[in-house]
Structure 1
Amino acid sequence: MLTLIYGLVIGIFVSLIGGGGAALYLGVLTSQLGLATAVAVPTSLLVALPALFFGFLTQTRIHNVNFHVGNQMIIAAIPGIIVGTISAQYIPQNVYNWIVGSIFIVMGLMVLRKAIFPKKATSDNPHQAWAARGFGLLSGLMVGIGGLSGGATTAAGLTILGLTAVESAGTATYVLTAMSAISFVGHLFTSTFAWEAGWMLMLGAIIGAILTPLVIRKLDLNKVNRVLTPFLGLLIIYFGVKMFL
């Protein structure tokens, strides 16, 4: 029952920030369920994918997904995942931590700047497609190099591109679902999964991912954005700082 609650909390959190939640799933699987890291990493992907998918369906139903921008990110992310997966074995862990941590801190500061000095969305900007591809490539590289670590980059990139915090979270579920599915297929041939250990965690996460967007939809979205945007920026900076510790 406690595992179900863990999953529910993570599902809510993931829906709020538009991330994949792999680090949170990984923490529960290793510290609470006692799985070895080598097994917990692919299992966290198994747990995250259904919650992301159901969250994506819910976000689509309430029109929080910008498919045009999301498709641009996915297209760019695919080669990033492939290149990242190949190059990961050659990058020392401490170097990887510094690279990812620096990216997180910079992007978090950019999101905070957007929250303090808001600008009108730029969906008709001719440079947006290239910016979206750039963020998608970066997210794909991070997924390929370090597993499901592209959530914060994806959500931050969408926010910086001019999407509201709510729309960024919704579109991120779409992008991350696609990237996670690609990674999952690769792991099926190379990794060991703890299929039974993660199903309660998965169920709780699915419930949280479905309910959270429906609840947020009934709130004042302007107020939600004013809270979620700086929260997302601070959270990304926190993730970046943790990479240096």
Structure 2
Amino acid sequence: MHIGLLILCGFLIGFILIFLGMGAALYIGCLITIFHLSAKTAAASALVVTLPALIIGTLINHRTHTIDYRRGNFLLKWALLGTIGGSLIVPFTNHDLYQLIISVILIILASTILWNSISHSRKKKSSKLTAKYFPPFASIISGVMVGLAGMSGGGPLVAGMLLLDAPVTQAAATSSYIRIWTTLLGVGLHWHTMTIAWHPVLFMALGTALGAACAPLMMRLIGQRNRNFISRVMKPLIAIILLYMGVKPFI
């Protein structure tokens, strides 16, 4: 595998992961479509690659007081329950079913991000009913994505935070904080059955760490107005990429 391409992919996705609080599913898509790993190996490898970005981004965001720990801890407990529940389903899935689950999750995640982008662009306030029930549900889905499919589950968490009327920057930062714990739990639950492609993981992790370190610095330099514009452009773009990765196995 080309080392430069691995580092570049890691850098770009690590940057997106911290900048938007979502996009870790791109690791799985890259490892499957570009580097031709199996879905199960790609999912396990992506889970490990994600950790450096989440830890570095959270440490930087903690120093800038960007994380909402009150809302974050509220969503964290639901996400941990989802992670445990998702891990219990794994023994009952075969290769074809696993591939189908990942594809379906990618499609649902893409649809969620697109819907969230449209709703946010209209600047609608969340209803009390939506704000009460959807964020915990989204957190459970995020945990299931970690426990079952090896994804980091950032999309549902960011959507849940936005429905609690958190700013985009705070939603992304809090999502990263939550996913450190769900990712560690997911790795711990599946370590004995995980097949990790260590060669791409090491080089992608290097790029990921660099991208994650650059994201908060870039966010401060470009200003809030430009940051919001980039966020509005990037979210639907990521959703389209994830949608393509989800439907590709059926084409």
C-alpha distance in 2 between matches for 1:224 and 1:129? 28
- Report what 1:216 is aligned to: 219
What letter is aligned with 1:66?
D
Q: 2:39 touches 2:98 (CA, 8 Å); kept in 1?
A: no
Residue in structure 2 matching 1:17, options 17, 20, 26? 20
1:4 to 1, 7, 19: 7
**Per-residue deviation, 1:43:** 2.3
Q: Is 2:81 aligned against 1:76?
A: no
**Mapped partners of 1:201, 1:208: distance in 2:** 10
- Which residues of 2 match residues 131-170 of structure 1 at below 5 A? 131-170=134-173
Q: C-alpha distance in 2, partners of 1:40/1:77?
A: 22
The 3-state SS of whatever aligns with 1:10 is helix
* CA contact 2:138–2:156 (8 Å) conserved in 1: yes
* Aligned twin of 1:41: 43
Q: Structure 2: where are the runs of 5+ without partners?
A: none
Deviation for aligned residue 1:35: 5.2
Say if 1:112 and 1:234, in contact at 8 Å, map to a contact too.
Answer: no
CA distance in 2, matches of 1:198, 1:216: 26
Q: Does 1:112 align with 2:117?
A: yes
CA displacement 1:147-174 (0-9 Å, x = unmatched): 1151222222222332222222111111
Partner of 1:207: 210
Deviations 1:154-206 (A, max 9, x none): 22222233222222211111111111111111222222334454222211111
Q: After the TM superposition, which of the residue ranges 163-172 and 232-241 deviates more from structure 2?
A: 232-241
Question: 1:30-81 CA distances to partner (integer Å, 9 max, x unpaired)?
Answer: 744x655544432222221122111111122222211111111210011211
Report percent identity of matched pairs.
24
What is aligned with 2:68? 66
Instruction: Please state whether the residue corresponding to 1:44 is helix, strand or coil.
Output: helix
**In structure 2, C-alpha distance between the alignment counterparts of 1:120 and 1:220, rounded to whole Å:** 24
Cα offset for 1:216?
Answer: 0.8
Q: Distance in 2 between matches of 1:66 and 1:121?
A: 18
Runs in 1 of length 4+ with deviation above 6 angstroms? none
Unaligned runs of 5+ in 1: none
Partners of 2:37 and 2:244 in 1: how far apart?
Answer: 26
Paired residues in the alignment total 242
What is the CA RMSD across the aligned residues, in angstroms? 3.1
The answer to whether the 8 Å contact 1:65/1:174 transfers is yes
Distance 2:189 2:57 in 1: 23
Q: Distance in 2 between matches of 1:196 and 1:98?
A: 25
How much does 1:105 deviate?
5.0
Asked if the contact 1:108/1:234 (under 8 Å) is kept, the reply is no
Instruction: Provide TM-score, normalisation by structure 1.
Output: 0.82
Q: Return the letter of the residue paired with 1:187.
A: H
SS state at 1:193 partner: coil
Q: Is the 8 A contact 2:104 2:246 kept in 1?
A: no
Q: Contact conserved, 1:6 with 1:204, CA < 8 A, in 2?
A: yes
